[in-house]
A and B are shown apart, each in its own frame.
Chain A
Amino acid sequence: MKLNTKDLISAALLIGLAAIGLWLNQDHNLGTARRMGPGYMPMLVFWLQIILGGIVLFFGLFNGPDPLDDWSPAEIGFLIGGTVAGVAAGMICAHIPGFLSSGWNPLGIGLFVGCMVISIPPGWRALFLPSAAFTLFGLVLEPLGFIVAITVTVIVSALADQEHLDRPLGVVGLCAFLCALCWAIFIYYLDIRVPLWPQL
């Protein structure tokens, strides 16, 4: 047996997602082949996906080895810890009245906290710091405005690259350049409806 780790995980992903889909699909009326209900096509699609996942699984047992990149124990620990922290942060925020629980903020805060916690070990920074920066943009844009959102997003995403840390002046320049460019394109030319400065 030469296990193909990548294929086995792919198969688990395909089958798992399809199984969840089938479970959710129980709410929908299947109808008949002649008059298909809302649940008919999803049923076909998910069963097909399970069959395909099964084929990938079967061949994955023999056509390896194809291991994943090595993860250090710290990386695995922070991945799990970050996920837990993110979910917890989101759920706590959802119960605090005010800014923290309004709109999609609990989702955004949870996502941001999770990504930042996972970014503590250096191996994850390239992956989760840009994701955190992107989330932060969504969190900050409406309350603090366009300019602040661009600035914090650039700063957090810049942390993902070592050279930026060595030359912080370059990041300042980049912020100024992007604020000016995005103002010109999105506010001046396209006239999108966002606050430019903090809403006090």
Chain B
Amino acid sequence: MELIANLAHGFGVALTLNNLLFCLIGCIIGTAIGVLPGIGPVATISLLLPITFGQPATTAIIMLAGIYYGAQYGGSTTAILLNLPGEVSSVVTTLEGYKMARNGRAGAALTIAAVGSFFAGCVSTVLVAASGPLLTSVALSFGPADYFSLMLLGLIISAVLAQGSVVKSIGMVVFGVALGLVGTDVQTGQQRFTFGIPELSDGIGFVSIAMGMFGIAEIILNLEKPEARSVMSGKVGSLMMTREEVKRATPAVLRGTAVGSLLGILPGGGAALASFGSYMMERKVSKGRHEFGTGAIEGVAGPEAANNAASQTSFIPLLTLGIPANAVMALMVGALIIQGIQPGPRMVEAQPDLFWGLIASMWVGNLMLLVINLPMIGVWVKLLAVPYRHMYPSILIFCAIGVYSLSNNVFDVYQTVFFGLFGYMCSKLRLEPAPMLIGFVLGPMMEEHLRRAMLLSRGDPMVFVQRPISAVMLAIGALALGAMLMPNIRKGKDKALQE
């Protein structure tokens, strides 16, 4: 019953005019960038971070979250109609969705994508609401050693699940942790790696790193590629699904929701992983598996439900443990910290407005997205007529103004340029930027917990294996790393991530 009272409180927060407005803005922006290839949720959220600082923390997070799950809706539209995935998480939707559109069932594919996402969104909202307080009470019994191991596990899994070489990804995580150590040491006040630059004494700007590595570096990479955009010629057709299609899609949506919810909670998981996972599953177990490749509705229903479910359940580790599961959640941590809120298990109690308001807003946002997307598909497809050469100067300007307005200091602007060039270099060398960002966010927290744990244990490192929670985390981390040594599993992962 407490849950219902809390949810009611959450709806009270989410349904205030200002929060509704920003939820709508987030959903609209999310849908737009979902439709547009070449700009993803990570770049957009880092771009809009400075704009949200003037808002209360709850409003800011509600809007940023709307961008993330809104992008999952928008991404499917162009994937189905134009064979053009707007986001990584809708790559698999092109496989069956576009075939369905070619068969004249575009309307049905769009409907199941939106309705499936809505259903998954509702279920995962409840899941977040139910598991939040539960996990929080567990987390409150965590000691510093347990926290350290948990963060280590998060970093390992985010590296293991990143694309490409695991060793290189771990290298990037470690480098991210190192970057996070720049600035004033909390315990002694000593300046570390600041080169006497006063701007660095608070640490390297989080927004500069995110905007540089994801915003500017992405612009440059997109400019290098020749532009490939087609304009839709065919018709959407009826949005209604046939009875046969409903019958086949329903179990796929259920399975997709389950797979997506699970993979979203996993550290390092998220929307993209979930849609791949669900697609693999549908190809193996669904009734229409022999039709895969010719436009099977299960191949749209499952992954689309899964990516939306995952985009919401990936908030669970953030809201309950303060640990970001992926790059988008790392940005949310940044947003919270700049707002003066330390993410962690005490957040549910200390910030009930934020926690329950966000959950309620997810449900409201999903409803909005259903309305924004289905009847207005034509509008979104027209958005593709905006050529990239008009988009990139706009993105650049927004980044520049945003990063400057953080502290009215041009140093932040120049710092961002450096990270842009560094991010470009990393992507050319196949060094993943996402694990680095997560390492950067977790680095300072890990140091603090490590110091505290070692102080409590009088310098004995065995404390990490003696405490049961910590030992389990480390064992899982070791298993995940060990699994990557097996050639079969590694090949399976590469295949799953590259398809």
Q: Is the interface of B mostly helix, strand, loop or mixed?
A: helix
- CB of B167 within 8 A of CB of A131, answer no
Q: Which residues of B contact A197 (CB under 8 A)?
A: none
Q: How far is the CA of A54 from the CA of B485 in the complex (A)?
A: 17
Asked if A139 CB lies within 8 Å of chain B CBs, one says yes
- Candidate in B168, B393, B414 with the most chain A CB atoms within 10 angstroms: B393
Size category of the binding interface on chain B? 35 or more
Contact B413 A7 (CB under 8 A): no
Residues in B whose Cβ lies below 8 Å from that of A126 = 220, 223-224
Report the minimal beta-carbon distance from A4 to chain B, rounded to whole angstroms: 10
The residue of chain A having its C-beta at the shortest distance from the C-beta of B225 within the complex is A126
A141 within 8 A of B: yes
Query: A71 to nearest B CB, angstroms?
Result: 11
Within 8 Å by CB of B461, from A6, A33, A40, A111, lies A33
Out of A28, A131, A154, A190, which one reaches B54, CB within 8 Å? A190
Contacting pair A34 B455 (CB below 8 A): yes
Do B171 and A49 have beta carbons less than 8 Å apart? yes
A153 and B414 within 8 A (CB): no
Q: Are B220 and A127 in contact (CB under 8 A)?
A: yes
Name the interface residues of B380-437: CB closer than 8 Å to any CB of A: 387, 389-390, 392-394, 396-401, 404-405, 408-411, 413-414, 416-417, 420-421, 424, 428-431
B390–A170 CB distance below 8 A? yes
Minimum CB–CB distance for B168 against chain A, Å: 6
Asked if B170 lies at the interface with its beta carbon under 8 angstroms from chain A, I say yes
| Contact for B171 among A14, A37, A40, A134, CB less than 8 A | A14
- Contact check, A38 vs B190: say whether CB atoms are below 8 A apart: yes
Query: Which of A10, A130, A164, A182 is close to B430, meaning CB atoms less than 8 Å apart?
Result: A10
Give the one of B174, B394, B398, B428 with max A CB within 10 A.
Answer: B174
Q: Is B488 an interface residue (CB 8 A)?
A: no
Complex contact A53–B171 (CB within 8 A): yes
Q: Which among A37, A45, A135 has the greatest number of chain B C-beta atoms within 10 A? A: A45
Interface flag for A48 (CB, 8 Å): yes
| Partner of A161 from B223, B409, B458 at Cβ < 8 Å | B223
Q: Which residue in chain A gives the minimum CB-CB distance to B458?
A: A34
Chain B residues in the interface with A (C-beta under 8 A): 51, 54, 165, 167-168, 170-171, 174-175, 177-178, 181, 185, 187-188, 190, 192-193, 216, 219-220, 223-224, 387, 389-390, 392-394, 396-401, 404-405, 408-411, 413-414, 416-417, 420-421, 424, 428-431, 443, 446-447, 450-451, 454-455, 458-459, 461
A-B contact pairs, 29 of them (CB 8 A): A6-B430, A10-B168, A13-B429, A18-B178, A21-B178, A24-B193, A29-B188, A34-B454, A37-B188, A41-B446, A42-B192, A53-B171, A104-B411, A134-B396, A134-B420, A137-B397, A137-B404, A138-B414, A150-B397, A153-B393, A153-B400, A157-B392, A161-B392, A163-B387, A178-B397, A185-B51, A192-B405, A194-B405, A194-B408
A residues bordering B, Cβ < 8 Å?
6-7, 9-10, 13-14, 17-18, 21, 24-25, 28-29, 32-42, 45-46, 48-49, 52-53, 55-56, 59, 68-69, 103-104, 107-108, 111, 115, 126-127, 130-131, 133-135, 137-139, 141-142, 149-150, 153-154, 157-158, 160-161, 163-164, 170, 174, 178, 182, 185-186, 190, 192-194
